[in-house]
């Protein structure tokens, strides 16, 4: 493919800040508000202005996403020579953006004069056709943007243009085709059906060259009919990428010549050189649920014989005793609340700094400050039991003997569930020390099991060398459920003082940053539990960086029965209610009546 090059043969991308001049909803896109037109003003040398087919990495300067998103150029207006920067030109670059994930959502929420980080132009371009060639251009969905931009560079009426959508029509306002054909899956515009309803091997043979961009199934179809008709094709691909510069090697595309970088070797490839792999099939549960029409989501879950109205639990240490947040939101919407970590005796906790914010996370060294179990039973527990969510008492201690004495007191109360905490990373004795080995964890679980017939769930530490083994040992010793996982250990340094931030040096670390690691541990434990005899299988309650309903769905699909939300409550007190509402909407959309119907579908 041809590249934009300087006199030394190098492409000339620019990393700079552009200014949003306009952001409008694209009319005709279905559903309304799903596609936006973003215009960004930039100043650059002429050789750094985009050519049709190229793309930019875009990121909201004040956005929360780490990476930019690759967005193809839809249209460019050269406004003239810059009055402030000699030898440069002012330009307005228009992008069509499908609002889909977090990154594109941030881009679609731009306001006029907002700043956007831009890296580009990147990638190669569509090669120009030979004179008098019969040209076919195909765009599918948001893929109409780059091919529409390319069509603008051709002589009007010198090409035919096929635009394919699920519903509606957009992105073809600048197209001046000899023949414009629109297809929609629902028949709302043009021909009803996919591309195959308008273009087949016979019709494609009428053309000398084909240019296309769109979803993979469509591009695979274009490749197949072009090969059958012996017609040259150029396909613009897309892939997840981090850099856009050919460095990260995360955006590779499989070709007959090996893996090629979408950002540097593409995004435009010769069609007959691409290898299209079969897309991963949906889990059987997902496919079956689509048949359900009248869905009435039931979010309830069970921990042994205790029913929670939904799987969302306020995590121990981050939600007090539940009553503290009553005036902030309706805590009665939660499935359960796990109390502050409780010890037999009152504790003042650790000295020095106790909290330290990190990127996408929070470190803490609280040290189990609590009023003690006797005080909890007399004062806090009665108030917790008045709330609708199931009360869970989080039991901790400094020695096995203190755990035992505390369990004896809790067993005499009306608390429905005891959560055995052998995972706290911020105490010198007890806590995580009891959860580091299979033997110690099993001994602690067995000792408390002898004392109480209440449902007993065991909260594990991710620091154990064999988390799966520890979990299975606790189940064998009588645990009715596993909670995984408590805080990871980390260290922070105060660079102004040149000293560790925390008096105990190490501290617990939680928040969104730990979620993929926590998900991996939950996945491994749930996989192991699934292989146990039915009568030995117990619920796994997930914890670790859960902030959104999508996070909760991930953990449930990995096998979790319920989820605990911790650090994110500090960032967004409404997050647990939003997760409950999001789960309900997800189940309606997918066709699930019960959580159990999709729990563990990824295992």
Residue 1, pLDDT score: 35
Burial of 174-191, coded b for 16+ CB within 10 Å and e otherwise, reads: ebebeebbbbbeeeebbb
Q: Of 185, 218, 236, which residue sits at a domain end?
A: 236
Q: In this structure, are 58 and 207 located in the same domain?
A: no
Cα distance between residue 481 and residue 397, in whole Å: 20
Cα distance between residue 327 and residue 372, in whole Å: 25
424 catalytic residue (yes or no): yes
Is residue 497 assigned to a domain?
Answer: no
Residue 4, pLDDT score: 44
Is residue 470 assigned to a domain?
Answer: yes
Is residue 361 assigned to a domain?
Answer: no
Residue 364: pLDDT band with limits 50, 70, 90: very high
Output the six-digit token pair for 251.
């955006």
Residue 426: pLDDT band with limits 50, 70, 90: low
Q: What is the CATH number of the domain that holds 389?
A: 3.20.20.70
Cα distance between residue 120 and residue 48, in whole Å: 8
Q: In this structure, are 72 and 165 located in the same domain?
A: no
Q: What is the residue range of 81's domain?
A: 14-122
Indicate whether 85 pLDDT > 90: no
Residue 423, pLDDT score: 83
Cβ–Cβ < 8 Å for 337, 319: yes
Q: Please give the average per-residue pLDDT across 49-65, as a whole number.
A: 92
Cβ–Cβ < 8 Å for 113, 39: no
Residues 451-465: pLDDT tens digits? 999 999 999 999 999
Q: Number of folded domains in the chain?
A: 3
* Options 164, 243, 424, 485, the catalytic residue: 424
* pLDDT > 70 in the chain, percent: 97
Is residue 445 assigned to a domain?
Answer: yes
Question: Which is it for the CA torsion 506, 510, 515, 519, positive or negative?
Answer: positive
Residue 10: pLDDT band with limits 50, 70, 90: very low
Q: In this structure, are 139 and 116 located in the same domain?
A: no
Backbone angles phi, psi at 492, to 5 degrees: -125, 140
Q: In this structure, are 428 and 308 located in the same domain?
A: yes
The mean-pLDDT minimum among 41-50, 365-374, 425-434, 574-583 falls in 425-434
Q: What is the CATH number of the domain that holds 66?
A: 2.40.30.10
Q: Of 89, 122, 155, which residue sits at a domain end?
A: 122
Indicate whether 537 pLDDT > 60: yes
DSSP 150: H
Mean predicted lDDT score pLDDT of the chain:
93
Indicate whether 2 pLDDT > 50: no
Residue 7, pLDDT score: 46
Residue 283, pLDDT score: 84
Q: Please give the average per-residue pLDDT across 331-346, as a whole number.
A: 97
Contacts of 509 (CB under 8 A, 6+ apart): 358, 361, 362, 363, 487, 488, 489, 490
Cα distance between residue 139 and residue 123, in whole Å: 19
Output the six-digit token pair for 443.
């001994």
Residue 292: pLDDT band with limits 50, 70, 90: confident
Measure CA 109 to chain center. 18
Indicate whether 265 pLDDT > 90: yes
Residue 427, pLDDT score: 57
Task: Describe the strand order of the beta sheet including 135-140 as a list of residue ranges.
Answer: 191-192, 179-184, 159-165, 135-140, 209-213, 232-236, 268-270
Residue 425, pLDDT score: 64
Residue 290: pLDDT band with limits 50, 70, 90: confident
Better pLDDT: 511 or 1: 511
Indicate whether 9 pLDDT > 50: no
Residues 492-536: pLDDT tens digits? 999 999 999 999 999 999 999 999 999 999 999 999 999 999 999
């Amino acid at each position: 493919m041809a590249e934009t090059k300087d006199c030394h043969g190098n492409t000339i991308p620019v990393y700079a800040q552009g200014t949003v001049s306009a952001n409008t909803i694209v009319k005709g896109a279905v559903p309304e508000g799903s596609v936006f037109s973003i215009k960004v003003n930039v100043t650059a040398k002429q050789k750094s202005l985009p050519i049709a087919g190229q793309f930019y990495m875009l990121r909201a300067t004040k956005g929360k996403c780490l990476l930019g998103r690759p967005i193809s150029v839809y249209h460019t207006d050269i406004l003239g020579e810059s009055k402030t920067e000699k030898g440069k030109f002012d330009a307005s670059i228009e992008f069509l953006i499908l609002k889909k994930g977090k990154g594109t959502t941030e881009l679609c929420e731009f306001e006029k004069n907002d700043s956007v980080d831009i890296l580009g132009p990147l990638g190669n371009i569509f090669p120009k056709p030979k004179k008098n060639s019969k040209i076919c251009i195909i765009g599918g969905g948001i893929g109409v943007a780059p091919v529409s931009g390319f069509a603008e560079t051709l002589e009007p009426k010198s090409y035919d243009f096929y635009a394919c959508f699920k519903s509606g029509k957009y992105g073809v306002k600048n197209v001046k085709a000899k023949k414009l054909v629109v297809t929609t899956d629902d028949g709302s515009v043009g021909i009803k059906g996919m591309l195959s309803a308008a273009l087949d091997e016979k019709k494609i043979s009428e053309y000398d060259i084909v240019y296309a961009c769109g979803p993979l199934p469509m591009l695979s179809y274009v490749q197949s009919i072009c090969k059958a008709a012996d017609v040259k094709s150029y396909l613009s691909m897309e892939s997840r990428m981090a850099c856009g510069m050919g460095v990260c090697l995360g955006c590779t595309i499989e070709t007959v010549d090996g893996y090629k970088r979408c950002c540097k070797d593409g995004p435009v490839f010769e069609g007959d050189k691409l290898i299209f792999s079969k897309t991963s099939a949906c889990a059987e549960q997902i496919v079956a649920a689509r048949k359900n029409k009248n869905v009435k989501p039931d979010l309830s879950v069970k921990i042994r014989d205790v029913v929670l109205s939904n799987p969302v639990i306020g995590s121990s240490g981050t939600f007090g005793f539940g009553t503290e947040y009553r005036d902030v939101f309706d805590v009665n919407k939660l499935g359960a609340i796990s109390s502050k970590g409780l010890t037999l005796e009152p504790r003042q906790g650790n000295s020095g700094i106790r909290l330290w914010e990190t990127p996408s996370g929070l470190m803490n060294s609280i040290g189990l400050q609590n009023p003690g179990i006797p005080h909890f039973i007399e004062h806090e527990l009665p108030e917790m039991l008045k709330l609708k969510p199931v009360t869970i008492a989080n039991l901790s201690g400094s020695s096995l003997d203190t755990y035992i004495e505390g369990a004896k007191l809790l067993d005499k109360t009306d608390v429905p569930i005891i959560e055995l905490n052998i995972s706290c990373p911020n105490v010198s004795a007890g806590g995580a020390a009891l959860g580091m080995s299979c033997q110690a964890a099993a001994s602690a679980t067995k000792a408390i099991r002898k004392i109480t017939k209440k449902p007993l769930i065991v909260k594990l530490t991710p620091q154990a060398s064999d988390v799966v083994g520890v979990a299975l040992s606790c189940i064998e010793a009588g645990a009715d459920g596993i909670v995984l996982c408590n805080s990871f250990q980390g260290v922070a340094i105060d660079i102004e003082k040149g000293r560790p931030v925390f008096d105990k040096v190490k501290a617990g670390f939680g928040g969104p940053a730990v979620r993929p690691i926590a998900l991996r541990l939950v996945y491994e434990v749930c996989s192991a539990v699934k292989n146990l005899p039915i009568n030995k299988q117990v619920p796994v309650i997930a914890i670790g960086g859960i902030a959104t309903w999508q996070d909760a769905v991930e953990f449930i699909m990995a096998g979790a029965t319920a989820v605990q939300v911790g650090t994110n409550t500090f960032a967004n007190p409404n997050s647990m209610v939003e997760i409950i509402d999001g789960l309900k909407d997800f189940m309606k959309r997918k066709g699930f009546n019960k959580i159990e119907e999709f729990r563990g579908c990824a295992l």
